[in-house]
């Protein structure tokens, strides 16, 4: 598994052995970042259920300013720190403005600079349980941003319709296949007059 684009392209990412992490494929990340295009440059990100940190590090390689990785498993969070060091070395920049939080992504207090991009790649079996809670928390966190994007990886058979958000694009297809949904704030309905 490697960074697929940007200045750190080709840098390998370390993962814990076993099935503790189901990383986004290189092809899926490449498709996601092609879709995000110019939105990445100078952006701040929040990478929830970060695993290897691939989504956030891909954003960093492609010009993001910085962000936060949230990963519950302590051992896996250690791999994110190694991957940050490798990508930052390749970029010739210090790892400042990058934070790794070892905590449950559904419960961690989301503080600091408000992100422009939120990457969510949870274990598929908990998506239906956690999605409403996550979107409610992100509503509050992202209220100050005019046009944030939530990038949510899920299996093809999963459909999410969070209140206040609209799925504007979906990459991938097929039941039990990884897909990515892009959510933007739903347009405010005009006040009745």
Q: Where are the domains of the chain?
A: 26-185
Strand duo 149-155 + 165-171: pairing: unpaired
Q: How far apart are alpha carbons 189 and 60 in whole angstroms? A: 35
Tokens representing 60? 């960093």
Q: Is the pTM of this model over 0.85?
A: yes
DSSP 8-state assignment for residue 181? E
In this prediction, the residues of the chain whose per-residue pLDDT falls under 50 are: 191-193
Residue appearing with tokens 């409610």: 136
User: Of 46, 58, 9, nearest to 141 (Cα)?
Assistant: 46
Cα–Cα distances (Å) from 3 to 31, 59, 66, 99, 192, in that order, read 13, 9, 16, 19, 49
Q: CATH assignment of 26-185, given 3.50.50.60, 3.40.50.300, 3.40.50.150, 3.30.572.10?
A: 3.40.50.150
Q: What is the pLDDT of residue 29?
A: 85
Residue appearing with tokens 């010739």: 92
Task: List strand residue ranges (DSSP E) for 22-164, in order.
Answer: 44-48, 66-71, 98-102, 117-120, 149-155
Q: What is the pLDDT of residue 83?
A: 95
Q: How far apart are alpha carbons 110 and 34 in whole angstroms? A: 27
Q: What is the pLDDT of residue 192?
A: 44
Q: What is the pLDDT of residue 193?
A: 45
Contact 104, 123 (CB under 8 A): no
Q: How far apart are alpha carbons 9 and 63 in whole angstroms? A: 12
Q: How far apart are alpha carbons 98 and 175 in whole angstroms? A: 35
156: left (phi over 0), alpha (psi -120 to 50) or beta: alpha
DSSP 8-state assignment for residue 2? B
């Amino acid at each position: 598994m490697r960074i697929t684009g940007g200045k750190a392209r080709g840098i390998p990412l370390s993962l814990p052995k076993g099935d503790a992490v189901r990383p986004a494929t290189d092809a899926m990340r490449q498709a996601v970042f092609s879709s995000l295009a110019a939105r990445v440059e100078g952006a701040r990100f929040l990478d929830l259920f970060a695993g290897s940190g691939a989504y956030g590090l891909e954003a960093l390689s492609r010009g993001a300013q910085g962000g936060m990785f949230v990963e519950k498993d302590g051992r896996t969070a250690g791999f994110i720190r190694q991957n940050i060091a490798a990508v930052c070395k390749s970029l010739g920049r210090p790892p400042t403005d990058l934070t790794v939080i070892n905590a449950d992504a559904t419960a961690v207090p989301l503080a600091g600079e408000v992100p422009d991009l939120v990457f969510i790649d949870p274990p598929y079996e908990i998506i239906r349980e956690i999605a409403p809670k996550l979107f409610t928390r992100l509503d509050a966190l992202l209220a100050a941003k005019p046009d944030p994007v939530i990038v949510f990886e899920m299996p093809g058979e999963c459909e999410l319709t969070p209140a206040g958000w609209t799925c504007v694009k979906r990459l991938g297809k097929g039941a039990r296949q990884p897909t990515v949904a892009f959510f933007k704030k739903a347009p405010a309905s005009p006040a009745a007059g």
